[in-house]
């Protein structure tokens, strides 16, 4: 395998986010775009960086404005490095695109739900999205209704998850057509999207998931309860090849012997392994049936930086563990005098 930049393998890189809109979602948007820029600076895709995929149902005009603004601010390497599901959902002659109809089955709208119509640039109906309340809306299998060129029902797709996966299948197929055999790395930046794609695995695709927020409730101590919004994601996390957490490493004058500390649980004999970017070997910890706290010394070269941590639940990184075999949270930087 040919490597690029700082050790990134030669592959097609994708970043999946719920939405990326200038001035919206604060640190999430900035962190996602900065990570893509870091990949570009490391030589990924010949310096162009990953393709950023979003699934917010804005108009093509809105998305074009967002890309132009990001490009003007230097937050993306080019407007061609962003794609949106709904920009690609319409057929030229009206109605849903063929890739959507291929994923559909016969059906009808749920009569108990309200729907939001997504139209093409000419105002013709493309599809109808169910309007759902509550934090679990994304996990619903309520039918997404597709329209034909005359506006009639052309079939349904069972929920947002199936809709998103159908588009990802299309994206992967396009890469395969242009670059046969190339590995594909998809970095998921959204907890909700991660829950929906953890079981989606076309051949040759590696799934990496980032973590933007803590999993715990106040007071955020190791024995604090887990935030309910994260429970489903934690149960699905064995479906990812790696989980990336960003931890700011304080100056050594503040923390003389910095170490990454985290809590984990395991019920099998598999190893939990942790890797920092400039290391060639894993720091390994054996899981147990109860919560344990593990630490990993931070190299001096990472003083004052925000390194990536790659955490995998077994020696191959293939994530074959059962959901109950792997659970990690409470990531923090601590002072550990044994880190010399």
Alpha helices, H only, the chain: 26-41, 60-72, 98-102, 159-178, 191-197, 228-236
Q: Pick the residue with more confidence: 9 or 175?
A: 175
Residue identified by tokens 């996602």 is 32
Q: Which of 230, 226, 183 minimizes the C-alpha distance to 202?
A: 183
pLDDT for the residue 196:
96
> What's the rounded mean pLDDT across residues 159-179?
97
> Is residue 269 pLDDT above 50, yes or no?
no
Share of the chain above pLDDT 90, in %: 52
How is residue 196 written in tokens?
């929906």
pLDDT for the residue 48:
95
Please give the Cα distance from 263 to 313 (Å, whole number).
Answer: 13
> Is residue 249 pLDDT above 80, yes or no?
no
pLDDT for the residue 224:
75
> Is residue 14 pLDDT above 90, yes or no?
yes
Maximum CA pair distance of the chain?
71
pLDDT for the residue 293:
65
- DSSP β-bridge partners for residue 205: 184
Q: What is the pLDDT of residues 288-332, one digit of tens each?
A: 445 566 676 776 665 555 555 555 544 333 333 333 334 454 556
pLDDT for the residue 225:
81
Q: Pick the residue with more confidence: 268 or 215?
A: 215
pLDDT for the residue 304:
55
| Least confident window among 37-51, 184-198, 252-266 | 252-266
> What's the rounded mean pLDDT across residues 261-286?
49
All domains in the chain, ordered by first residue: 90-160 (no CATH), 248-340 (2.60.120)
Q: Pick from 14-18, 252-256, 318-322 the range whose average pLDDT is largest.
A: 14-18
pLDDT for the residue 320:
32
Please give the Cα distance from 306 to 337 (Å, whole number).
Answer: 21
pLDDT for the residue 175:
97
Looking at the chain, which runs of residues are DSSP E strands?
3-4, 8-9, 12-17, 51-54, 82-84, 115-119, 125-130, 143-147, 153-158, 184-188, 205-211, 242-246, 258-265, 272-275, 283-285, 292-297, 308-312, 327-335
| Least confident window among 17-26, 55-64, 236-245 | 236-245
pLDDT for the residue 247:
52
Please give the Cα distance from 305 to 338 (Å, whole number).
Answer: 21
Neighbours of 131 (CB within 10 A): 11
Could you tell me if 20 and 69 are in contact, meaning their C-beta atoms sit under 8 angstroms apart? Answer: no
pLDDT for the residue 231:
84
pLDDT for the residue 238:
76
Q: What is the pLDDT of residues 53-96, one digit of tens each?
A: 999 999 999 999 999 999 999 999 999 999 999 999 999 999 99
Alpha helices, H only, 42-130: 60-72, 98-102
Please give the Cα distance from 167 to 154 (Å, whole number).
Answer: 17
> Measured between alpha carbons, how far is residue 323 from residues 150, 188, 318 in Å?
46, 18, 13
Q: What is the mean pLDDT of the chain?
A: 80
Q: What is the pLDDT of residues 193-239, one digit of tens each?
A: 999 999 898 999 999 888 877 777 887 665 678 888 888 888 887 78
């Amino acid at each position: 395998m040919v490597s690029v930049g700082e050790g990134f393998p030669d592959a097609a890189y994708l970043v999946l986010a719920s939405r990326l809109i200038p001035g919206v979602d604060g640190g999430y948007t900035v962190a996602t775009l900065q990570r893509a820029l870091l990949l570009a600076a490391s030589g990924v895709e010949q310096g162009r960086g990953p393709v950023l995929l979003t699934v917010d149902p804005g108009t093509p005009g809105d998305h074009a404005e967002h890309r132009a603004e990001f490009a003007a601010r230097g937050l993306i390497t080019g407007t061609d490095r962003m794609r949106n599901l709904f920009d690609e959902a319409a057929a030229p002659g009206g109605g849903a695109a063929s890739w959507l109809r291929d994923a559909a089955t016969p059906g009808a709208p749920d009569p108990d739900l309200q729907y939001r119509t997504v139209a093409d640039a000419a105002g013709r109906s493309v599809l109808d999205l169910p309007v759902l309340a509550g934090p679990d809306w994304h996990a619903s299998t309520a039918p997404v209704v597709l329209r034909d060129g005359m506006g009639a029902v052309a079939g349904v797709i069972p929920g947002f998850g199936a809709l998103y996966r159908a588009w990802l299948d299309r994206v992967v197929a396009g890469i395969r057509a242009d670059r046969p055999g190339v590995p594909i790395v998809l970095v998921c930046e959204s907890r909700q999207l991660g829950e929906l794609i953890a079981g989606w695995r076309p051949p040759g695709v590696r799934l990496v998931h980032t973590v933007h927020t803590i999993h715990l409730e106040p007071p955020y101590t190791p024995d604090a309860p887990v935030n309910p919004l994260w429970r489903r994601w934690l149960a699905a996390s064995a479906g990812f090849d790696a989980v990336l957490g960003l931890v700011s490493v304080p100056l050594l004058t503040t923390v003389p012997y910095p170490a990454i500390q985290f809590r984990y649980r395991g019920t099998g004999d598999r190893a939990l392994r942790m890797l920092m970017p400039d290391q060639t070997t894993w720091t390994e910890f054996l899981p147990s049936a109860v919560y344990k706290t593990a630490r990993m010394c931070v190299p001096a070269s990472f003083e004052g930086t925000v390194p990536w941590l790659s955490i995998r639940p077994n020696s191959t990184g293939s994530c074959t563990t059962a959901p109950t075999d792997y659970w990690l949270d409470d990531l923090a930087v601590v002072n550990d005098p044994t880190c010399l």
